[in-house]
């Protein structure tokens, strides 16, 4: 008689034979929906798992995050299977599920083309259609090595030798076999809705000294609807791409002759940037900051002391020689702010100091990483340094956190993801600054986050060597996260430059220095804003806030007078005097995403009014000019994100 075990599953407790497969139990549970996977004692496994002891089983349905990951992992196997079928002799690398999809790396002489992708997709559909069972097997390491070697999969052999213990787990479907920890879906037929997206290069084991493999990216979902929704999101992102909208709306451009990664701000883009900067300055002054201006270049000695020439030189532009001295373009602002600090003796009574600068820095970025405004070589950081005593640190951290969150909210970003990066307890030697400093610094960050009740993710070991930090990522209109704010302790610079203040005791003490970038880089933030707003900037930022459209040329004088009046009231306004029909002018204003459109004809001239049209909302009828100005000014003052009349 076989041994019995107790399985708790779907609110039943079943006594079953030891070794039974979970899938064999499912029929008697009379489930309404079909699970795809299960969690057995906290481990995600396929439904074919053999149950050999008492266990808590949670069935996983297609909606769960874990199930989606497994689906995509199985989809990557399906793709590798298809590739090996179509292109014998190809070697496979690794193929995990990643955010939004999956990839698999292949080693093959000939590059994959887009036509190949279509063929691979068709092959995948065919294999999925055969509904092959996906079977997990455990075999001795030596056997796995032998079998993969026989198949000519030397990359896999390398992986098995590195990663497998005594035994290797492999998953097989039909003729395809892969060394893989799993889990996987029960059969290929469950992978129904997928799409291959792109091919790119990727180094074997992520090391650029290794050979480069071809990586195919794809995505998969449990339903057509979910797949279509995701593809639509990609399409929407393409439409909003700031690299497309920016030149289209005449906001900025790049020029080969100037150089890549160097932004040219056109008048309209510059108006938006100026509006952002103006607001930024006002908020900083109101928030207890002082504003600095520092040079773009500095002597080599400065960068030696700061340590940049030691560990950051590869990212700096080559030095220029001036009067026999080497000068470098600045990649960071901190050394300059520290020089301001050191320009005189500082007392504890002077602290805290909060110094901010819109500091333009230049960093050499490898050509392949440049990306529109999001990754450039010259950019303006909205930098600040807070220098304070140990007693002040908690208040200062709370203050800078509140300040940052509040300014992000001014642009409509209220759904943020916050990350706290702290030391790696297993690796204490790679950090500078003593233990007491770190403890106090980390505690102040935690305290600030908890005082405000913010949800945050604690990233163990993610702190940089010079101090712990809080990063804030904003979520845009398409749900994408962008890191903007970083609040970092810096125990390195303060030591290197021997920063000090005189305490109450008359002795020298080392201050805390906190480095903060809020919007991050203005270029990058601007790029994100273009995509977030889809080019339709809210009234307070719009480069042209109102356009006046005369219907016939006898209304031109009235239109120009109106523009003067709007400008006198502080609005960025223009008139369109072209000899076109009003429908054409309206079209131009709408595609130009101008928030307020004022149409003036005989009626309006007679009544001293204008006919208002709001971008995207259409005709709102006649308005009194004074009332219009009041309303528009109020919307601008409130930095309203929408125009509701």
Collect all residues with Cβ–Cβ distance below 8 Å to 263 and sequence separation of at least 6.
252, 254, 373, 376, 378, 379, 523
Choices 76-84, 177-185, 388-396, 589-597 (CB under 7 A): range interacting with RNA: 589-597
Q: Min. distance of Cβ 375 from RNA in angstroms?
A: 8
> How distant, in Å, are the alpha carbons of 93, 275, 467, 483 from that of 281?
51, 10, 27, 21
> Could you write out the DSSP letters of every residue in 573-589?
EEE---SS-HHHHHHHH
**Binding status of residue 449 toward RNA by CB under 7 A:** no
Distance (Å, rounded) from C-alpha 488 to C-alpha 470? 7
Q: 183 or 511: whose CB is closer to RNA?
A: 511
Distance (Å, rounded) from C-alpha 412 to C-alpha 642? 10
Q: 102 or 222: whose CB is closer to RNA?
A: 102
Binding footprint of RNA, residue count (CB under 7 A): 70
Interaction pattern, residues 361-400, with RNA; x per rule: CB under 7 A: ----xxxxxxxx----------------------------
Interaction pattern, residues 348-367, with RNA; x per rule: CB under 7 A: -----------------xxx
> Could you write out the DSSP letters of every residue in 10-57?
TTEEEEEETTEEHHHHGGGG--SS---EEEETTEEE-TT-EE-S-EEE
Interaction pattern, residues 216-235, with RNA; x per rule: CB under 7 A: -x------------------
> How distant, in Å, are the alpha carbons of 57, 338, 365 from that of 532?
42, 36, 25
Single out the residue of 492, 494, 521, 545 in contact with RNA (rule: CB under 7 A).
492
**Binding status of residue 584 toward RNA by CB under 7 A:** yes
Single out the residue of 87, 230, 312, 348 in contact with RNA (rule: CB under 7 A).
312
Q: Which two tokens stand for residue 320?
A: 């220029």
Three-class SS of residue 355? strand
Q: Min. distance of Cβ 173 from RNA in angstroms?
A: 26
**Binding status of residue 43 toward RNA by CB under 7 A:** no
Closest to 305 (Cα-Cα) out of 260, 251, 342 = 342
> Could you write out the DSSP letters of every residue in 417-447?
EEEEEE--TT-GGG--S-HHHHHHHHHHHHH
**Taking a C-beta distance cutoff of 8 angstroms, is the pair 113, 198 a contact?**
no
Single out the residue of 146, 163, 587, 637 in contact with RNA (rule: CB under 7 A).
587
**Binding status of residue 239 toward RNA by CB under 7 A:** no
How many distinct helices (H) and strands (E) make up the chain? 19, 35
**Annotated catalytic sites, by residue?**
334, 363, 381, 383, 385, 469, 515
**Binding status of residue 199 toward RNA by CB under 7 A:** yes
**Binding status of residue 64 toward RNA by CB under 7 A:** no
Single out the residue of 599, 623, 629, 635 in contact with RNA (rule: CB under 7 A).
599
Q: Which of residues 514-533 bind RNA (CB under 7 A)?
A: none
Distance (Å, rounded) from C-alpha 215 to C-alpha 316? 31
Q: 498 or 580: whose CB is closer to RNA?
A: 580
Residue ranges that bind RNA, judged by CB under 7 A: 111, 113, 198-203, 206-208, 212, 214-215, 217, 243-244, 247-248, 254, 256, 259-261, 306-308, 311-312, 315, 332, 334, 365-372, 464-466, 492-493, 551-554, 579-584, 586-587, 590-591, 597, 599, 601-604, 611, 613, 616, 618-619
């Amino acid at each position: 008689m076989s041994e019995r075990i107790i399985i708790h599953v779907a609110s039943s407790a079943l006594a079953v034979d030891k070794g039974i497969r979970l899938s064999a139990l499912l029929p008697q549970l009379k489930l309404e929906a079909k699970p795809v996977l299960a969690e057995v004692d906290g481990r995600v496994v396929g439904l074919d798992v053999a149950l050999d002891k008492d266990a808590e089983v949670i069935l996983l349905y297609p909606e769960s995050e874990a199930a989606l990951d497994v689906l995509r992992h199985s989809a990557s196997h399906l793709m590798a299977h298809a590739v090996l079928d179509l292109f014998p002799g190809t070697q496979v690398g690794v193929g995990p599920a990643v955010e939004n999809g999956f990839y698999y790396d292949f080693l093959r002489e000939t590059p994959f083309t887009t036509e190949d992708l279509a063929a691979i997709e068709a092959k995948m559909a065919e294999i999925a259609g055969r509904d092959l069972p996906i079977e997990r097997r455990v075999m001795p390491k030596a056997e796995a090595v032998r079998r993969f070697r026989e198949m000519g999969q030397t990359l896999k052999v390398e992986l098995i030798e590195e990663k497998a213990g005594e035994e290797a787990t492999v998953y097989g479907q039909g003729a395809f076999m892969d060394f893989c920890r799993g889990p996987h879906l029960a059969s290929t037929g469950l992978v129904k809705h997928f799409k291959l997206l792109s091919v790119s290069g990727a180094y074997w084991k992520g090391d650029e000294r290794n050979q480069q493999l071809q990586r195919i990216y794809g995505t998969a979902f449990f339903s057509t609807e979910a797949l279509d929704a995701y593809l639509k999101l990609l399409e929407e992102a393409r439409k909003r791409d700031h690299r497309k909208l920016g030149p289209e709306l005449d906001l900025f451009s790049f020029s080969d002759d100037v150089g890549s990664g160097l932004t040219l701000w056109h008048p309209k883009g510059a108006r938006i940037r100026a509006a952002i900067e103006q607001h930024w300055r006002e908020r900083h002054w109101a928030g207890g900051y002082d504003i600095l201006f520092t040079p773009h270049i500095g002597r080599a000695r400065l960068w030696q002391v700061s340590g940049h020439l030691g560990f950051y030189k590869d990212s700096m532009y080559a030095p220029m020689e001036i009067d026999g001295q080497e000068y470098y373009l600045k990649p960071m602002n901190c050394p300059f702010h520290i020089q301001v600090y050191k320009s005189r003796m500082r007392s504890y009574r002077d602290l805290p100091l909060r110094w901010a600068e819109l500091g333009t820095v230049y960093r050499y970025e490898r050509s392949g990483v440049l990306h529109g405004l999001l990754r450039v070589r010259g950019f303006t950081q909205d930098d600040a340094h807070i220098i304070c005593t140990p007693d002040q640190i908690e208040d200062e951290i709370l203050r800078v956190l509140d300040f940052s969150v509040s300014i992000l909210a001014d642009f409509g970003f209220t759904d943020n993801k916050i990350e706290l990066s702290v030391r790696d307890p297993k690796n204490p030697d790679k950090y500078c600054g003593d233990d007491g400093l770190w403890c106090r610094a980390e505690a102040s960050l935690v305290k600030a986050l908890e005082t405000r009740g913010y949800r945050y993710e604690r990233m163990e070991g993610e702190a940089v060597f010079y101090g712990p930090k809080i990063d804030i990522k904003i979520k845009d209109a398409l749900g994408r996260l962008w890191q903007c704010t970083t609040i970092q302790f810096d125990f390195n610079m303060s030591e290197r430059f021997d920063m000090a203040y005189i305490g109450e005791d008359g002795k020298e003490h080392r201050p805390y220095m906190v480095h903060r970038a809020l919007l991050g880089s203005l270029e990058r933030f601007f790029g994100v804003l273009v995509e977030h707003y889809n080019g339709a900037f809210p009234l307070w930022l719009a480069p042209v806030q109102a356009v006046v459209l005369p219907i016939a040329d006898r209304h031109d004088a009235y239109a120009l007078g109106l523009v003067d009046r709007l400008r006198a009231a502080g609005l960025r306004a223009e008139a369109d005097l072209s000899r076109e029909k009003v429908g054409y002018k309206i079209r131009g204003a709408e595609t130009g995403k101008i928030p307020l459109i004022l149409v003036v004809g005989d009626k309006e001239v007679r009544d001293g009014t204008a006919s208002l049209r709001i971008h995207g909302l259409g005709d709102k009828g006649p308005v009194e000019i004074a009332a219009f100005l009041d309303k528009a000014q109020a919307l601008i003052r409130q930095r309203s994100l929408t125009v509701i009349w």
